[in-house]
Amino acid sequence: MVLKNFDEMVEKVRGLSTKRKVALVAAEDKHALEAVLHAEKEGIVEPVLVGDEVKIKELLKELNATKEYEIYNEPDANMAAYKAVELVRDNKADFLMKGKIETAGILKAVVDKEKGLGQGRLMSHFAIIEVPTYHKLLVATDGGMVMYPSLDQKKEIINNAVDTLLRLGYERPKVGVLAAIEKVNPKMPETIDADKLKEMNLNGEIKNCIVEGPISYDLAMYKEAAKLKGYESEVAGDVDVLVVPDITTGNVLGKSLIYSAKGKMAGIIIGAKVPIILTSRGSSAEEKFLSLALAAATS
């Protein structure tokens, strides 16, 4: 099974037997709180609000929320992050979302060796994008966490992405390790890594997926381009996951698909025990809603 669009993903979440609980960290953030309340209204999540109770209640009133919500009073944002992590550990919440707190603050609580949610794995950013010109949802990773991943880190990034897609119901995702060319060039380290990752997949080190690389963007996305170049691969023109060589490439790719190709995006941090939503204040309401749906579907 593959997901063709976000509507299918949202319906998948609505079909879950129990609503997933999102712990909103430092919930006294109007934009984040509004997104969570909208997702609740749409049947996606159940909010658990952690932060300054007085400010949260003022915002709830401003947003015309009449329901009584589960609120944990912790005015200090960094301590609110630890409280939210504790709620997840105690099975009182299923995933985390950033409110009025710096990213470093929430991640510090997540990676705390004694009280956190780490599981000895690399954490990476998972962006899933609906592009009008592509026949299914497309994953790009990692454009938000690991700046210049090593070969071993790229292997973990692939494993994280594949595990997440398996949770969404995929059986054997197709992974393209991006480069500018399709052949190994000693002067282009990303082509060497891509070739090694493909070899790891063939010998069973990277499981439950098909890895192709090095592969250029056009060949990964368009079968016609692959035919013109005489490039044969199961991944060509049907890729599920694009693995980028560095954070800049991933960031530019994601924003290009959104702003120039009218794409829609959802993004989460994966690799911890639960998904984490770190959308910025500049993210659209739609992106926040879709990210909540993605986290709910994979938690």
In this structure, are 53 and 170 located in the same domain? no
Assigned domain for 1 exists:
no
Residue 77 inside a domain? The answer is yes
Nearest-angstrom CA–CA distance, 229 and 216:
11
Question: How would residue 186 be classed by pLDDT, with cut points 50, 70 and 90?
Answer: very high
**CB-based contact 184:214 (threshold 8 Å):** yes
Looking at the fold, whether 164 and 137 belong to one and the same domain comes out as yes
- Asked whether residue 72 is assigned to any structural domain, the reply reads yes
Quick one: residue 281, left, alpha or beta (phi over 0 = left, psi -120 to 50 = alpha)? Answer: alpha
Please tell me the distance from the alpha carbon of residue 130 to that of residue 227, in angstroms, as a whole number: 24
- In the chain, the number of structural domains is 2
Q: Do 88 and 132 sit in the same domain of this protein? A: no
Give yes or no: residues 257 and 174 share one domain.
yes
Is 90 within 8 Å of 72 (Cβ atoms)? no
Q: Are 141 and 244 in contact (CB under 8 A)?
A: yes
Pair (87, 148) in one structural domain: no
Q: Could you tell me which residue, 246 or 282, shows the higher pLDDT?
A: 246
User: Is the pLDDT score of 279 beyond 80?
Assistant: yes
Instruction: Name the strand (E) or helix (H) holding 276.
Output: strand 276-277
Mean predicted confidence (pLDDT) in 273-280: 94
pLDDT at 283: 85
* Angle CA 275–212–177, to nearest 5: 55
Give strand pairing partners of 210: 174
Contacts from 251-256 at CB under 8 Å and sequence distance 24+?
251/143, 251/144, 253/140, 253/143, 253/217, 254/127, 254/129, 254/140, 254/143
Give the SS3 label for residue 91.
coil
Asked if residue 146 and residue 128 are part of one domain, the reply reads yes
Taking the C-alpha atoms of residue 29 and residue 66, their distance in angstroms, rounded to an integer, is 18
pLDDT digits (tens, 9 = 90+) for 22-78: 999 999 999 999 999 999 999 999 999 999 999 999 999 999 998 999 999 999 999
Q: For 219-249, how does the pLDDT look when each residue is reduced to its tens digit (9 = 90+)? A: 999 999 999 999 999 999 999 999 999 999 9
Q: Are residues 112 and 52 in the same domain?
A: yes
Residue 281 domain-assigned (yes or no): yes
Q: For residue 137, give Cα distances in angstroms to 147, 184, 281.
A: 24, 28, 24
CB 299 within 8 A of CB 94: yes
Across the chain, what does the average pLDDT equal? 97
Same domain? For 173 and 218 the reply is yes
> Is the residue at 65 inside a domain?
yes
Burial per residue of 163-181, b for 16 or more beta-carbon CB atoms within 10 angstroms, e otherwise:
bbbeebebeebbbbbbbee
Residue 138: burial class (beta carbons within 10 Å; 0-12, 13-18, 19+): buried
Does some domain include residue 31?
A: yes
Q: What is the pLDDT of residue 281?
A: 74
Amino acid occupying residue 199? E
CATH of the domain at 186: 3.40.718.10
Percent with pLDDT over 70 in the chain? 100
How far is C-alpha 247 from the geometric centre of its chain's CA atoms?
14
CA atoms lying within 13 Å on the CB side of residue 216: 13
Render pLDDT for 187-225 as a digit per residue (tens, 0 to 9): 999 999 999 999 999 999 999 999 999 999 999 999 999
Domain that holds residue 53: 6-119+272-298
- What are the pLDDT digits (tens) for 122-174? 999 999 999 999 999 999 999 999 999 999 999 999 999 999 999 999 999 99
Token pair for 169: 């119901």
0.75 cut: is pTM over it? yes
CATH code of residue 60: 3.40.50.10950
Same domain (yes/no): 58, 185: no
